[in-house]
Every structure is written in structure tokens, then in C-alpha cells.
């Protein structure tokens, strides 16, 4: 295999086949992908058990492509797995579309694909469809990855941005800002005494534990859970604003209740950023009616991906469409949606 | 709305929302997409009627993004619809992931998205999930689009690259090379007396007519159809080689039977290209046992997208894994898979 990506790797001919068989199938191989048909033909997820289908897509253009805690391949699997999990779905099948820049070292591509394979195994999903394109040097930036995903939403579970109601409590699964500040520090060449690390992780295991806990609770059940979201681009503040607008409710958040790692806080202060606007890649927000909050919080804290889970606020019928933050100093201010761009190419 | 794409359009914040609501939903809007949840939750295609699920993905990086007969948006819908149709699936849901270069005129994006909407309507599919990323000027080339698609394969229909058998006849739905030579001529600034035009079209209507004809035939049925492929990158020659290798069969093709438009032939001669290696975006190859060939050919010729359909060759048990071409002069030569790259960024 040649040492760098050439335009001919995207030709559809011999070199494309060499790349597919020598690299992609080596790591991602399964009987469905290996058939190399135009489309993967699979059993419909959960056709027998009922339920609906969840379908999502995301492109990943993060720079740098390798960073503490992950890489663009791990991120591309986690991000789409998490979007499915937030809809309540069990992620099952993923597709992967690569756009490669001519001259990309093959060793870097191999490292990324191996990381995708490892993350897919950890999340319990199969990559069953793929595509590779190559563009001239200078017409992309190393590599971009798109993943689309299919999952199964169990019958009886209904979540949505528009289902949040006054009285709901807001749970956050852990610290905020880790991913965004890790990327930012890498780009700026910043060093801190305690190193920053992206929180990039698949959240479907945590969600499974949360749903099981609600089912097992005496007075809750799935009906108590109204919405889940992973606060990626735009951070917690932007997701809260989206929910406030879509559900037509007010939201009140306690700044002191939101866990932030010391190194993240330091990096944010240095760069003049607010951690509530910084991207996360392994955290979720859950909106739940009061009777569900206790079992949900206990289940989250008992899971490796939710140890620092906390109730960070509540939903009100007042100031509909707006998010209010009570600061650590006791002041109250409006937390608006992200305006402009804080950290381009964070995912 | 601003006149060009800014990095802030990819922030996930206010400007992202403006772009989504002001442009994407304006053209592509449907209740599922408009919910703007992390994943689209939909009824599983054909869960009641049985059948399996087809899932596919492709990224589109074509340059130029507008060309006679289409644009990158039309292509992104047709390409994924066609991959689903080749598996025998009825295409139902599409996702769309955009990677935009900072500085892209919004009017160009709008034209592309409007074209996607029109093509999706024509093909009878809904775009239910989307994503937009923006990269700095010079880190992409105008815009790249990924589409993934879901379709339903009816119970009893089994197609695949490895199901072709000696004795099968090979049907081609029309002229070859139109898409590739149109793009090439645009790039090279070539003019011909009869203008070239891409054949970019959704093929699911043609496939539906073909499947209906087989079902209605006295002595055929779906079992007669073994494989369908759309000869995109690498052209007819590359697909035939893939089939020969995957099915372990020999293939014989008659050059004289393959329809090529006069302008395409002229452009190929001028540029020293073989139309059998040039990309198509609205043509299909079907491998069918002899009893199915007549009803299939009649159905194709009766459909607007298959008027020039022809039987171009047959499958043999000899020279397994290789494709032989009998030229118009009566000579016989091996038609190998595309080596190197003929036309980068053709799709």
C-alpha cells in the first residue's frame, strides 16, 4: 500500500478496492460490509418487538484530528451513537463516509479507522455501509468523516425537544467543557498543571441504565422522561435555549450546581470563554418530571459515564422561551443562545 | 441573511439556527425534519409488510458543483436513491450532511438545496435528518454533501454482487459516459456541436417498473433477477469486473451493443478516454437469467429512463473473474478494472 492517499484511491477502480480491502475491511469488516453491495441489506431493527426507527447523520471536521481523549474516528462513532441514544433509541447500524485529502498519510487513516472499529465495538454498533472520496491536496483538511446511524426506539418511549413541561427537573450527567477546551488548548498550544482530556464517549450504555431505572421505579416509568440532549456544539447554554424555545417554557439553572473541572475552568478564564457554551462529547442533559428525578440520578451516578451527575435546574411556566442563570454570586442573568462562533471545527 | 457562509453558521448557535430555519427547512421541510431533534424518529419502512431494510451512504465532492443536467444537490439525492434502488429497495428516508466552505455564496447553497428538494420530490423520498458544518476558507472546496438513505427491500427479492450465474444476460438501461464527459468537458472548457448533458436521474421508478414486469411475466418472477448495479465511478468496465470477481464468473460484452452518444464518443476520442470507464449517474446494469431478459428489456424500453436499453453481453463459466470485450472490429480483448484515476471528483 502506498504511503499517502492519492487521487486514484477515490477512483472507484483498483486502488479504491485496495484501500477498501486492505484497510477499511481489515478493521471494520463484518459480513454485511464485506459484501460491498451498493446498499447494506439488513434485518429491520426490532421489527418483531415493535417500536420505531431512529435515523440521524453528522459530519465531523474536527481539527486537530488526534487529541487527548480521542480522535476524529472515535468522535464520528460517539457523536452519531449519542444522537441516536438521545432519542431513546438503541443504536444498531452505522454508515461511514470518508472525504480524504490527497497526501494524507495512510498511517493516520489507519489509526482513525482502527479507533472507529474499537469505539463501534464498545458501543455495540456495526458499521455496515461506507464510501470514500478523495479530493486534491488543499481542497479539504486531512480527512472529514460523515456517519449516519439507525437505531430502534422501544415502543412506549416518547422523547422530544417539545415535550418538556413546567415542573421538570434538569439533570446533567457530568462536567462541562472538557471536549471543547481540550481542542482549544491543543490549537493554542496551552499547557496546564492538570492535563485536559476530551470526554468523548458513547452514551448509549448510560441511557440504557437510565431507562431501566425508570421502568423499575415504583412511581415513575418512561413517561417521566421528556427529553434527552447531548450538549455538543454551542454547549449546555445553547441546548437549554433550544428546549426553552421548542417547548415554550422557562428554564432556571444554578451555576453552582454545574460541575466544571478545575483545568477547564482555568483554560476558560485564560481564553475568556464561558464553559456553558463549550462543546461536550460525552455528556447528556435529561428533562424529567419530579417523580423520575431521584431514580434517574441514582442510576446515572451508579454508571461510569455519569458519576458526577447532578440536578442543575428546573423548568418553569414563567419567562417562556428564556433561560435564567443564578450565578455563584447569587445574581440572576439571562443565558442566551450562542451568538457568533466561539470554537470553529470543534467536532 | 448574510450573503456568504461564515464560520458562525457552523457554530450550533444563533446563526446555525438562522441557516436551518431560513434555508434548509424552507426547501426540505417536513414535520420530521422540522422537529430538529437529535435523531429523526420514524415508522420503520414496511414493518407490517415484512421485508428487509437497505441502508447506504455516499459523499459527493463533484467539481464544478453546477453542470449541464444537474448539480451537486441533485446528484447527492440521485446517487443515494440509486444505491438503494440497486439493492431492490424502495427508497424512503434520506439524511443530508453538508460541509460548507467559509465564503460560499448563500445563493449557491440555496440553489443546491432547492435542487435537492425538487429531486427528492421526484424520487418520492423524504429528507428527515440533517447536519451542517463550516470549515475555514481554503479547507474545503465550496461544498461537500453526504447523503445516507434507508429503503425497504420487499420480501422475496434477493440481489447481490455474488449472485450472478453463468448463462445470465446483461442488460444496460441506456447510453454510457454522459455524466463523466459532461463534467470533463466543463472543466476543460470544451465545446461540441451537440451539447453534452449529465444523465443524473433517480432510477427507482425504472426499477419499480422492472420488478413489476418480472412479477407479471409467465415464466420469470423475481428469482430471474440476480443483481443490479449503477455504473458510476469507474464506469461499466469497473462494475463488470467487480461482478466477475465477486460471483466467480466470466463476462463477455459486445462493444457494438453498448449505446454511446455521438458527442460523448467525440469527447472521449479527443481526450483519449474509453467511455466504458466513464461515470454514469442515471444508468443501471441488470444481470438476469435468460427467461427474465425479454420482459425486463421490454419494461425498461417502455420507461422514460430506459428507452435505449440493450442486452450488452452474457455471463459464462469460462475465464472466471475476467471480463472479455468483443470490439466493433471483431477483436477480443480483456476489459480490466480501472487502474489509476481518470476523472477525479466526478461525483
Domain identity same for B141 and B182: no
Return the half-sphere exposure (C-beta side, CA atoms, 13 A cut-off) of residue B15.
18
Indicate which of A127, A137, A148, A286 best probes the interface with B, i.e. most B CBs within 10 Å of its own CB: A148
Indicate which of B52, B63, B132, B148 best probes the interface with A, i.e. most A CBs within 10 Å of its own CB: B148
Q: List the one residue out of A208, A78, A65, A201 whose CA is nearest residue A149.
A: A78
CB-based contact (8 Å) between B49 and chain A? Answer: no
Determine the Cα–Cα distance for residues A230 and B75; give it in Å rounded to an integer: 32
State residue A200's pLDDT score. 98
Closest CB to A229 among B38, B54, B131? B38
Determine the Cα–Cα distance for residues A343 and A188; give it in Å rounded to an integer: 11
Using CB atoms within 10 Å of the CB of residue B318, give its burial: 0 to 12 exposed, 13 to 18 middle, 19+ buried. exposed
pLDDT tens per residue across span B213-247: 999 998 889 999 999 999 999 999 999 999 999 99
CB-based contact (8 Å) between B137 and chain A? Answer: no
CB-based contact (8 Å) between B174 and chain A? Answer: no
Q: What residues of chain B, 180 to 209, have a C-beta less than 8 Å from chain A?
A: none
Of B96, B126, B153, which one is at a domain's C-terminal end? Answer: B153
**Chain CA centroid to CA A41, Å:** 26
In chain B, which residues have their Cβ closer than 8 Å to the Cβ of A101? Answer: none
State residue A38's pLDDT score. 84
Q: Is residue B284 part of a domain?
A: yes
Q: Is residue B161 part of a domain?
A: no
Is residue B344 over pLDDT 80?
A: yes
In chain A, which residues have their Cβ closer than 8 Å to the Cβ of B30? Answer: none
Q: Buried (b) or exposed (e) across A159-180, using 16+ Cβ within 10 A?
A: bbbebbeeebbbbbbbbbbbbb
State residue B47's pLDDT score. 52
Of A153, A183, A204, which one is at a domain's C-terminal end? Answer: A153
State residue A45's pLDDT score. 75
Tell me the shortest Cα–Cα distance from A193 to chain B, in angstroms: 29
Asked if the Cβ–Cβ distance from B47 to A43 is below 8 Å, we say no
pLDDT tens per residue across span A232-274: 999 999 999 999 999 999 999 999 999 999 999 999 999 999 9
Domain identity same for A269 and A327: yes
Give the C-alpha distances (Å, rounded to integers) separating A260 from A43, A179, A181, A279, A291. Answer: 43, 12, 11, 13, 27
Write phi, then psi, for B20 (nearest 5 degrees): -65, -50
Dihedral (Cα; B168, B174, B180, B186), 10-degree rounding: 180
Tell me the shortest Cα–Cα distance from A62 to chain B, in angstroms: 9
State residue A263's pLDDT score. 94
pLDDT tens per residue across span A35-59: 888 888 888 776 556 788 999 999 9
Asked if the Cβ–Cβ distance from B233 to A84 is below 8 Å, we say no
pLDDT tens per residue across span A66-78: 999 999 999 999 9
In chain A, which residues have their Cβ closer than 8 Å to the Cβ of B17? Answer: 242, 337
Asked if the Cβ–Cβ distance from B151 to A39 is below 8 Å, we say yes
Q: Is residue B346 part of a domain?
A: no
Q: Is residue A145 part of a domain?
A: yes
- The pTM of the full predicted model, rounded to 2 decimals, is 0.96
Asked if the Cβ–Cβ distance from B39 to A56 is below 8 Å, we say yes
Q: List the one residue out of A116, A147, A153, A145 whose CA is nearest residue A129.
A: A147
Is residue B262 over pLDDT 60?
A: yes
Q: Which of A153-157, B98-102, B143-147 has the lowest mean pLDDT?
A: A153-157
CB-based contact (8 Å) between B34 and chain A? Answer: no
State residue B46's pLDDT score. 62
State residue B192's pLDDT score. 79
Closest CB to A11 among B46, B96, B341? B341
In chain A, which residues have their Cβ closer than 8 Å to the Cβ of B145? Answer: none
State residue A260's pLDDT score. 98
Structural domain harbouring B200: 169-334
Domain identity same for B132 and B12: yes
Q: Can you give the length of chain B in residues?
A: 347
CATH number at residue B319: 3.90.650.10
A310 contacts A171 by C-beta, under 8 angstroms: yes
Is residue B48 over pLDDT 70?
A: no
Q: Is residue B20 part of a domain?
A: yes
Q: What residues of chain B, 223 to 242, have a C-beta less than 8 Å from chain A?
A: 229-230, 232-234, 238, 242
Mean pLDDT of A83-96: 96
Domain identity same for A148 and A180: no
Closest CB to B61 among A96, A135, A242? A135
Long-range contact set of residues A323-327: C-beta below 8 Å, sequence gap at least 24:
A323/A237, A323/A240, A323/A241, A323/A244, A323/A250, A323/A251, A323/A252, A323/A253, A324/A250, A324/A251, A324/A252, A324/A253, A325/A252, A325/A253, A325/A254, A325/A255, A325/A276, A326/A252, A326/A253, A326/A254, A326/A255, A326/A256, A327/A255
Q: How confident is the model at residue A339 (pLDDT cuts 50, 70, 90)?
A: confident
Tell me the shortest Cα–Cα distance from B105 to chain A, in angstroms: 17
Tell me the shortest Cα–Cα distance from B34 to chain A, in angstroms: 11
Is residue A177 over pLDDT 70?
A: yes
Q: How confident is the model at residue B2 (pLDDT cuts 50, 70, 90)?
A: low
**Chain B, nearest residue to A153 by Cα:** B41
Closest CB to B59 among A12, A15, A146? A146
pLDDT tens per residue across span B139-184: 999 999 999 999 999 999 999 999 999 999 999 999 999 999 999 9
Closest CB to B97 among A16, A59, A136? A59
Closest CB to B58 among A97, A238, A345? A97
Tell me the shortest Cα–Cα distance from A143 to chain B, in angstroms: 10
State residue A220's pLDDT score. 87
Q: Cell 414486469 maps to which residue? A: B213
Domain identity same for B138 and B239: no
Helix axes A204-216, A72-86, angle to 10 degrees: 20
Indicate which of B57, B242, B285 best probes the interface with A, i.e. most A CBs within 10 Å of its own CB: B57
Q: What is the mean pLDDT of chain B?
A: 94
Q: Is residue B342 part of a domain?
A: no
Please spell the DSSP secondary structure of A263-305, one letter per residue.
HHHHHHHHHT--GGGS--SS--EEEE-HHHHHHHHHHHHTSGG
Is residue A2 over pLDDT 60?
A: no
Closest CB to B41 among A87, A97, A277? A87
Is residue B37 over pLDDT 90?
A: no
Domain identity same for A206 and A320: yes
Domain identity same for B221 and B274: yes
CB-based contact (8 Å) between A126 and chain B? Answer: no
Mean pLDDT of B69-86: 98
Return the half-sphere exposure (C-beta side, CA atoms, 13 A cut-off) of residue B57.
32
Q: Kindly report the CA angle at A83 between A89 and B4, in degrees rounded to 5? A: 150
Domain identity same for A145 and A197: no
In chain B, which residues have their Cβ closer than 8 Å to the Cβ of A134? Answer: 344
Q: What residues of chain A, 72 to 91, have a C-beta less than 8 Å from chain B?
A: 82-84, 86-87, 89
Q: Is A161 helix (H, G, I), strand (E, B) or coil?
A: coil
Q: How many domains is chain A partitioned into structurally? A: 2
Would the ipTM clear 0.90, i.e. be above it?
yes
Domain identity same for A99 and A242: no
Cell numbers at residue A195, please?
492535563
Domain identity same for B214 and B307: yes
Domain identity same for A318 and A191: yes
Determine the Cα–Cα distance for residues A105 and B173; give it in Å rounded to an integer: 40
Q: Cell 423520575 maps to which residue? A: A292
Q: Is residue A161 part of a domain?
A: no
Domain identity same for B231 and B264: yes
Q: What residues of chain B, 6 to 25, have a C-beta less than 8 Å from chain A?
A: 6-8, 10-17
Determine the Cα–Cα distance for residues A345 and A75; give it in Å rounded to an integer: 12
Is residue B35 over pLDDT 90?
A: no
Q: Cell 471494520 maps to which residue? A: A28
Mean pLDDT of B103-112: 96
Q: How confident is the model at residue A300 (pLDDT cuts 50, 70, 90)?
A: very high
Q: Is residue B2 part of a domain?
A: no
Q: What is the mean pLDDT of chain A?
A: 94
CATH number at residue B88: 3.30.1330.10
Percentage of chain B surpassing pLDDT 70?
A: 98
Amino acid at each position: 500500500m502506498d504511503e499517502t492517499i492519492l487521487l486514484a484511491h477515490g477512483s472507484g477502480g483498483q486502488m479504491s478496492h485496495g484501500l477498501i480491502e486492505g484497510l477499511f475491511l481489515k478493521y471494520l469488516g463484518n459480513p454485511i460490509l464485506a459484501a460491498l453491495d451498493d446498499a447494506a441489506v439488513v434485518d429491520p431493527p426490532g421489527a418483531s418487538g415493535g417500536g420505531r426507527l431512529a435515523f440521524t447523520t453528522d459530519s465531523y471536521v474536527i481539527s486537530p484530528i488526534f487529541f487527548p481523549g480521542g480522535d476524529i474516528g472515535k468522535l464520528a462513532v460517539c457523536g452519531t451513537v449519542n444522537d441516536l441514544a438521545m432519542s431513546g433509541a438503541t443504536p444498531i447500524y452505522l454508515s461511514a463516509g470518508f472525504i480524504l485529502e490527497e497526501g494524507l498519510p495512510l498511517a493516520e487513516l489507519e489509526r482513525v479507522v482502527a479507533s472507529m472499529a474499537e469505539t463501534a465495538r464498545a458501543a455495540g454498533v456495526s458499521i455496515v455501509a461506507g464510501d470514500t472520496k478523495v479530493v486534491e491536496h488543499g481542497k479539504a483538511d486531512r480527512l472529514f468523516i460523515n456517519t449516519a446511524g439507525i437505531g430502534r426506539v422501544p415502543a412506549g418511549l416518547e422523547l422530544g425537544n417539545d415535550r418538556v413541561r413546567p415542573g421538570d427537573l434538569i439533570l446533567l450527567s457530568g462536567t462541562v467543557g472538557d471536549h471543547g477546551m481540550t481542542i482549544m488548548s491543543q490549537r493554542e498550544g496551552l499547557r496546564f498543571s492538570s492535563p485536559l482530556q476530551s470526554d468523548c464517549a458513547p452514551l448509549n450504555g448510560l441511557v440504557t441504565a437510565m431507562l431501566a431505572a425508570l421502568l423499575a421505579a415504583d412511581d415513575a416509568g418512561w413517561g417521566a422522561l421528556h427529553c434527552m440532549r447531548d450538549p455538543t456544539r454551542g454547549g449546555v447554554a445553547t441546548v437549554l435555549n433550544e428546549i426553552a424555545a421548542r417547548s415554550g417554557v422557562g428554564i432556571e439553572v444554578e451555576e453552582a450546581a454545574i460541575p466544571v473541572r478545575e483545568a477547564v475552568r482555568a483554560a476558560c478564564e485564560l481564553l475568556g470563554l464561558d464553559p456553558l457554551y463549550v462543546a461536550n462529547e460525552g455528556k447528556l442533559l435529561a428533562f424529567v418530571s419530579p417523580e423520575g428525578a431521584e431514580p434517574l440520578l441514582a442510576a446515572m451516578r451508579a454508571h461510569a459515564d455519569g458519576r458526577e451527575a447532578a440536578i442543575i435546574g428546573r423548568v418553569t411556566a414563567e419567562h417562556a422561551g428564556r433561560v435564567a442563570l443564578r450565578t455563584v454570586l447569587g445574581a440572576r442573568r439571562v443565558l442566551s443562545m450562542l451568538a457568533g462562533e466561539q470554537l470553529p471545527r470543534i467536532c
